[in-house]
Chains A and B, each alone.
Chain A
Amino acid sequence: MARAGLLARLRQFMAKAGLLEVETSLMVAHPALEPHIEPFAIGPQGPYLNSSPEYAMKRLLAKGSGSIYQICKSFRKEEQGQRHRSEFTLLEYYVVGADLAGLMDFTDQLQQTVFNWPKAERVAYGELFKAHLGLDPLSLNEAQFLNLINKRGESAPSFLLGAAVSQEDRLDFLFSSYIEPHLGEVSPVFVFHYPPFMAALARLDPLTGQACRFEVFYKGLELGNGYFELKQRAEQRNRFDLVNQKRLERGDLALPLDEPLLSALDTLPDCAGLAMGLDRVLMIELGSDDIRETLAIND
């Protein structure tokens, strides 16, 4: 019931805002290329169940679709817990002509209208690290990392020690252990300006060099991730190559590059897009701390 109501309100909001609902394949030849997201492969060489509809939707945008949204199932292997299910419902939308600030405005409007949430606060990623942990995420070194965890009477997990560990993994650990649980107690928080090495498919701010990316947090839950979309084909190809390199170093399989997506970037309009986990939105609506409680049937 809560789910049906949420979907109905969402579609109403999107129609009014002039976004077109689209549907792309759940079974895809090219899964999202991410260092830490594992797609389900149906056969030994693919196809894959999509872990996000982003690539296909960008190809639609490049063909001139205008602003679009999709509500679909997405699948991520080995994600199972109180806040994770391997199969989950994603809302993904792209607003043509919007930049990062424009996307934040649109998202805030949507949250207030459809979810009935209070107005969001906005805070930079670096500011959060300074406020909560007293350090600069860009210059964090291993000694500081260790010191910070030890000071809390905890011991640093061994997989995050050593020269081969990426800055990104350490920052993610600190963020999800010590910052995220406190985020959005009163109102939703938009965390923006991620370090450049956490940009994925976002463009970099030409002035600050930071990623034009923001994430949505509310009630200690990570809910959404948005980008001012990168359009440079060569840069995107480099980033994909780096991801595959990381995956191989770790002993995971490299994933095929989505060439049709890379070609489409040439004609991608300026746009910004966001993906949001609707099951978690429902967790908040229902006051639940277990994602399975948002499903009518869960076996």
Chain B
Amino acid sequence: MYNTNEFKKGLRIEMDGVPYTIVENQFVKPGKGQAFNRVKIKNLLNGNVIERTLKSGEKVDKADVIEREMQYLYPEGDKYVFMDTGNYEQTEMSKEQLGEEWKWLLEQMLVQVIFYKGQPITLTLPNFVEMEITYCEPGLKGDTATNTLKPATMSTGAQVMVPLFITQGERIRVDTRTGEYMERAKS
């Protein structure tokens, strides 16, 4: 159990049978009054963020959640296969479980897979990935000044808006949290 005074961002708790991670925790106490914690928590199963108010000092369950470093191996039909880098155990995750994250999965990539009660539920990607552009309209040489963007298709099938000077076949760096183009990949 966690007491509300142990609450902090990133702590994983369970309420009404659902695992959550704490996004924001605010301690409120009127000078002479009852203290409470106003928290924003993210449902680990569906990603929804809700607000809850708990009496300070109240105890909540720890979520039975563990994180394992795994390597993404290959897709198999609608599933994605991962391998634990410690014990070589393999785990499958469905496209639904991955949400939008499948867009940034490259074979051999290391990710953090989150297990709830022994079952994989979601994963955390590296913040930045480098990938190849498999299709985009021809680049405009020398056009580095304007902020105009054009769509590009990545080797994974993801669509990213890139500057006009970027050409097909180039490797670029993408922020997986926002899906935004960062820069040309170095080397």
Q: Which residues of chain A have a CB within 8 Å of any CB of chain B?
A: 34-37, 78-84, 154, 157, 159, 168-169, 172-173, 175-177, 180, 198, 200, 215, 222, 225
Contacts and interface: CB of A to CB of B under 8 A. Distances in A.
Contact of B32 (A34, A81, A82, A159): A34
B58 interface: yes
B27 interface: yes
A157 B27 contact: no
Contacts of B32: 34-37, 172, 198, 200, 225
The 6 closest A-B pairs by CB, nearest first: A81-B27, A172-B33, A157-B53, A159-B55, A172-B30, A169-B34
Nearest to A170: B34
B112 interface: no
Interface in B3-18: 5
Contacts of B53: 157
B26 interface: yes
Interface residues on B, range: 20 to 34
Contact of A81 (B26, B33, B34, B58): B26
Contacts, number: 60
Contacts of B115: none
Contact of B55 (A157, A177, A180): A157
A36 B34 contact: yes
B56 A172 contact: no
A281 to B, nearest CB: 14
Given A78-B56, A157-B54, A159-B58, A175 B29 contact: no
Given A84-B29, A154-B51, A176-B28, A78 B57 contact: yes
Given A36-B32, A36-B35, A172-B33, A78 B5 contact: yes
Contacts of A177: 28
A78 B51 contact: no
B30 A222 contact: yes
A198 B30 CA distance: 12
Given A80-B5, A81-B27, A82-B26, A176 B33 contact: yes
A198 B33 CA distance: 10
Interface in B28-52: 28-36, 51-52
Nearest to B3: A78
A172 B53 CA distance: 14
Contacts of B31: 215, 222, 225
A286 to B, nearest CB: 20
Interface of B: 5, 26-36, 51-58
B33 A84 contact: no
15 contacts: A80-B27, A81-B27, A82-B27, A83-B27, A84-B29, A154-B51, A157-B53, A172-B33, A173-B33, A175-B30, A176-B28, A176-B29, A180-B30, A198-B32, A225-B31
Given A157-B54, A159-B55, A79 B29 contact: yes
Nearest to B57: A78
Contacts of A173: 33-34, 36
A225 B55 CA distance: 23
Contacts of A154: 51
A169 B53 CA distance: 14
A169 B5 contact: no
A154 B36 CA distance: 15
B5 to A, nearest CB: 6
Contacts of B35: 36, 78-79
Given A36-B29, A80-B5, 11 more contacts: A36-B34, A78-B35, A81-B29, A157-B53, A159-B54, A168-B33, A169-B33, A172-B30, A172-B32, A177-B28, A198-B32
A237 to B, nearest CB: 19
A98 B109 CA distance: 73
Contacts of B36: 157, 159, 173
Contacts of B33: 36, 168-169, 172-173, 176
A78 B57 CA distance: 8
Contacts of B34: 36, 169, 172-173
**Which of B35, B54, B55 has the largest count of A CB atoms less than 10 A from its CB?**
B35
Contacts of A78: 5, 35, 56-57
Contacts of A172: 30, 32-34
B20 to A, nearest CB: 15
A35 B30 CA distance: 12
A297 B31 CA distance: 25
Contacts of A34: 32
Contacts of B55: 157, 159
